[in-house]
Structure 1
Amino acid sequence: MSKIVRLLEYRRGTPLVHFTRSEMNSLLSLYSRRVMRGEWRDYAIDQSDGMARFAVFRSSLERPQYIITKQARGPQSRGTGTLAPPAHQYTVLTGRETLARGSALLDVLAVFDRPIKLRGSS
């Protein structure tokens, strides 16, 4: 049997989150700078569950060194009854540690411009 689905209800499902062209330019620019330094060698892009991910690797055989995510925070009302485009949250992760979180991609990518601090014995 077939199931009738109203398009309006279907479209209100999980929002598709993706990196825009300008965001991809920023991500690939950062990636190319790190490849020239010999720090990164591979990347992967994934889109699922209302989230887009850009992962970078030292080697294609390892786990990702960093994952940059973009998540929808839901639609925001403008006060006129119309819905504004959903706001997004960007996160930079390494393993299970969150390095940066913010509402603008360039703000969270600034974590890669900071000098590296060594942890451990002093």
Structure 2
Amino acid sequence: MSEGQGIDHRSNDRDSQGAPQVIPFPSPATTPQVAFQRDELRTIFNLYGRRVAEGEWRDYALDFRRDKAVFSIYRRNSEMPLYRIEKDPKLARRQGAYAVIAASGLVMKRGNDLARVIGVLDKPLQAV
């Protein structure tokens, strides 16, 4: 090699401007969140709206986790939830994906049909 030829000091892990390249570290695959579908929310909000109109329920909260989705129903926003409507897809083939859970932790009803499961929260019709 003669003196007129330069030596390229750039290594293969640098970009065209001499800055080091960042090699992304493979991140773990993220599992999607469990959420209520539009028709499920419509069914829940129909019941919720009726009970709000009756003055029994006042607030709600939605919580979407990786393992389940939770719709919590409150009498007042400062209290613990009266009921929780949970969607847990892992239980779909066993006990049912949907469950209504009381404030005490008692599972009131569980099943695969949301309308039938939340029917336990709907008041029966009374003769006037």
Name whichever structure is richer in strand by fraction. 1
- When normalised by structure 1's length, the TM-score is 0.72
- Large movers: runs of 4+ above 3 Å: none
Match of 1:89 among 97, 105, 110: 97
1:41 match? 58
User: Does 2:25 match 1:3?
Assistant: yes
8 A contact 2:47–2:122 mirrored in 1: no
1:101 match? 110
CA distance in 1, matches of 2:91, 2:110: 17
CA distance in 1, matches of 2:123, 2:49: 17
- When normalised by structure 2's length, the TM-score is 0.68
Q: Which has the larger radius of gyration?
A: 2
Query: Which 5+ residue runs of structure 2 have no aligned equivalent?
Result: 1-22
Secondary structure (helix, strand or coil) at the match of 2:88 reads: strand
- The count of aligned residue pairs is 99
8 A contact 1:14–1:50 mirrored in 2: no
Q: Quote the RMSD (CA, aligned, Å).
A: 2.3
Query: Which 5+ residue runs of structure 1 have no aligned equivalent?
Result: 77-87, 116-122
